[in-house]
């Protein structure tokens, strides 16, 4: 049986993971492309004795582990920002474990298989990463969400992480006005808003004023990871899990990722 359909089914989620792991759309996609090229050259490298999703992530991990991440080629790294210095201090293994468990939803046992380590090592890495990320500087977070209950949940999560809620916007117009007034350090944005407007367009207008990390929230993340248009770095799937939101918020601030106006504009 061809492995192409197996890989295709996991590709959007693998790209999400790779981008969160590297903090960059370009770097994340490059690693995924390298993994695909490796499998094209030698399909026997794909482990067929395990659950397909675990196998896909295991192959990607081999590529990630075999190529040194070159931060010196990144403008943010050269600037010596606090986020970059934190990145230097946090072991790649800890980042992988953190994201595989918190964002991708793998169990401790599956994460251990993907990374080729023991479950005890996975548990220790989770604890280590939690301590590292707990030191992030608190910031103001703008929430763009038209569902009151979801907005309240996000407010509680943001505050539980030690951040402040700059405001909650339900429409494109409210979002842009609040962003201009509060200059948030992070934006959580839904895709479809109360008045039928697009959260994507709202974010694009905000990024026209200043740079800020953006996390998009959608029930269909795979629709925004097609490779056919500019795409976001960070995505949260609806319905979301508390740990997933905490993980992605920490990653976005951890890398100090700044979305750009061109990268934010896409159709909903």
Q: For residue range 55-78, what is the model confidence (pLDDT) as tens digits?
A: 999 999 988 877 654 333 344 334
pLDDT greater than 60 at residue 221: yes
Higher pLDDT, 158 or 244: 158
Percentage of the chain beyond pLDDT 70 is 75
Three-state secondary-structure class, residue 86: helix
Token pair of 200, please?
């994507």
Q: Distance between CA 36 and CA 263 in Å, rounded? A: 24
pLDDT on residue 85: 43
Q: In what order do the strands lie in the sheet with 164-169?
A: 164-169, 140-144, 186-190, 214-218, 234-237
Domains and CATH numbers, the chain: 4-133 (1.20.140.160), 140-264 (3.40.50.2300)
Strand 186-190 and strand 140-144: the pairing is parallel
Instruction: Say which DSSP state 1 is in.
Output: -
Q: Distance between CA 180 and CA 79 in Å, rounded? A: 26
């Amino acid at each position: 049986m061809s492995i192409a359909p197996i890989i295709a089914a996991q590709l959007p989620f693998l790209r999400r993971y790779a981008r969160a792991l590297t903090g960059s759309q370009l770097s994340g996609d490059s690693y995924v492309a390298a993994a695909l090229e490796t499998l094209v050259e030698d399909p026997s490298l794909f482990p067929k004795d395990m659950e397909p999703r675990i196998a896909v992530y295991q192959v990607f991990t081999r590529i990630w582990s075999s190529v040194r991440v070159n931060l010196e080629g990144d403008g943010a790294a050269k600037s010596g920002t606090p986020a970059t210095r934190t990145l230097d201090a946090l072991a790649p293994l800890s980042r992988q474990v953190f994201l595989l468990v918190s964002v991708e939803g793998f169990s401790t046992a599956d994460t251990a298989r993907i990374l080729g380590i023991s479950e005890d090592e996975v548990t220790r890495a989770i604890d280590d990463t939690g301590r590292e990320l707990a030191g992030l500087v608190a910031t103001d977070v703008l929430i763009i969400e038209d569902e009151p209950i979801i907005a309240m949940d996000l407010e509680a999560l943001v505050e539980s992480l030690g951040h402040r809620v700059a405001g909650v916007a339900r429409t494109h117009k409210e979002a842009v006005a609040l962003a201009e007034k509060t200059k948030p350090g992070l934006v959580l944005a839904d895709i479809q808003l109360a008045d039928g407007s697009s959260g994507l367009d709202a974010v694009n207008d905000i990024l026209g004023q200043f740079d800020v990390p953006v996390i998009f929230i959608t029930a269909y993340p795979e629709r925004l990871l097609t490779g056919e248009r500019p795409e976001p770095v960070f995505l949260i799937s609806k319905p979301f899990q508390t740990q997933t939101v905490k993980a992605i918020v920490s990653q976005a601030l951890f890398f100090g990722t700044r979305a750009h106006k061109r990268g934010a504009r896409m159709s909903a």
